Amino acid sequence: MENTTLESTSATVTTAATTLRQIDALPGPRGLPVVGNLLQIDTPRLHQQLEGWCREFGPFFKLQLGSRLVLVLGDHAATASVLRDRPDGFRRTARLEEVWTEMKLQPGVFGANGDVWKRQRRMVMAGFDPAHVKRYYPAMLTTGQRLGKRWALAAQSGAAIDLQADLMRYTVDAIAGLAFGAEVNTLESDGDVIQQHLDKIFPAVFKRLLAPLPTWRYFRSPADRRLERSVAAVTEAVAGFIRQARARMQADPSLCERPGNLLEAMIAAADAEDSGIDDAQVAGNVLTMLLAGEDTTANTVAWMIDLLWRHPAALARATAEVRSIVGDAHAPTLEELTQLDYVEACAHETMRLKPVAPLVGVQALRDTRVGDVQVPTGTVILNVMRHDSVSESHVPNAAAFEPERWLVQGGPGAQASAAKRTSMPFGAGPRICPGRYLALLEMKLAMATLLGRFDIASVDTPDGQPAREHLSFTMTPVGLRMRVRERS
């Protein structure tokens, strides 16, 4: 998965003298009367369809989705300018807000807009600074040790590890323990766990965003009923996290000044005078952390393991780095993880080639211009995040997995090359992902556990083909499984 706002909308304009194009005059795939391109959309492959159309029609093209005309951007500079012009010039789409509310999901910083977003952003950032994350690290380490134990059992039995499922358990446990101080031990339980409810929410949001007709409003299918039960279960779990945190803070008032986890920091910020934040908004951000912290990090680590397996030299270098720096692979220290520069470079290269958020939708809040295109108020823009980052026109040897491109002379503090300008896995501008530091830390802990304690015997899929990309809000690898051997 945005630090400076535009001084004016003119930052998205090429030159004042440019003759502006209208969206309806742009090229795009031929559609049908009334429905336009709606029936052509293959939802699980939408990102690949849009990337293909970028190559066919150029980085600025149109889609007709029913009555709505959508601008699609595959140009990284234009996308960066749009993302940096949030929240004043662009917002999350009204359609996302409608679907989110209709599913009875509390709004958090992910879906909030305007002043509500600004207040929530301050609250969330209060808990995500590196000093706080350092205090949370022991809880994360416990989760990493459970992941290692689960994989050790698989190694002893020779069982194949369902990579994506195990890593989803890891990220749910990590975010619950580290961010909420809650004991959610899905790694050591195969029962009805919160992860099984969380897994239904983002795919349902994505499906409803693209649905031609809102059939669930008129006929509730068995899947709709299961979704309602999952939302209710997650909502109750979130309320429980907040009750537990408030009880801890009431018993120990010092936690208001020195919070022990992200949730306590959010509650302390919400309780400050004139914060404008209530418990419903705190709950929305707890849900946001669970959802966003589960899918994105887990999928990135799964893709990284797959790419390393298919590139033995990179795997050997990453393994050597972990084993030379981490003294005890059962208990890596925070300081050791910060020194894993090549592993972090592997994460950045994975996010360039396999971005788990390959599409970012926004909506214009005012008449503006993007590149040489006139954008009226209310226009929905779909940003295709991978088009330029895998293009030879922008990144040398773009199709190759080369983590070294993120390093300078192989040393720490490395600056990325052209890849950094085109790859924006955490977004850009004021709405850049607040949990990016935490996400990278979770990735490095998982890789330190894997490469420090095990040798990878194989990574494959049931049909022997490369893992298929499946889009269901985030981009998931389908069918990846791994076998490992414990190091003696």
Lowest mean pLDDT among 15-24, 182-191, 314-323: 182-191
Work out the average pLDDT over 97-106.
87
List of long-range contacts for 63-67, beta carbons under 8 Å, 24+ apart: 63/28, 63/29, 63/36, 63/37, 63/382, 64/28, 64/31, 64/36, 64/37, 65/36, 65/37, 65/38, 65/41, 66/34, 66/35, 66/36, 66/38, 66/212
Q: Answer yes or no: is 4 within a domain.
A: no
Q: What is the pLDDT of residues 277-298, one digit of tens each?
A: 777 777 887 777 777 777 889 9
Q: Answer yes or no: is 475 within a domain.
A: yes
Highest mean pLDDT among 45-59, 178-192, 211-225, 411-425: 45-59
Predicted TM-score of the model (pTM)? 0.87
127 vs 17: which has the higher pLDDT? 127
Q: Answer yes or no: is 242 within a domain.
A: yes
Whether 214 has a pLDDT exceeding 60, the answer reads yes
Q: Answer yes or no: is 315 within a domain.
A: yes
Whether 275 has a pLDDT exceeding 80, the answer reads no
- The token pair at 143 is 């989760």
CATH number at residue 287: 1.10.630.10
How many domains does the chain contain in total?
Answer: 1
The residue segments making up the domain with residue 280 are: 9-486
Work out the average pLDDT over 4-17.
39
Q: Answer yes or no: is 3 within a domain.
A: no
- The token pair at 48 is 């690949």
- The token pair at 265 is 């920091």
Q: Answer yes or no: is 228 within a domain.
A: yes
Q: Answer yes or no: is 201 within a domain.
A: yes
Work out the mean pLDDT of the chain and round it to a whole number: 86
| Confidence (pLDDT) at 452 | 97
Whether 1 has a pLDDT exceeding 80, the answer reads no
Which runs of consecutive H residues, i.e. helices, occur in 6-92? 46-57, 76-84
Which of 55, 71, 78, 82 minimizes the C-alpha distance to 22?
Answer: 71
* Beta-ladder partners of 368: 375
Percent of the chain with pLDDT over 70: 86
- The token pair at 248 is 């801890």
In DSSP notation, 325-391 reads: H-S-TTS--HHHHHT-HHHHHHHHHHHHHS-S--EEEEEESS-EEEBTEEE-TT-EEEEETTTGGG-
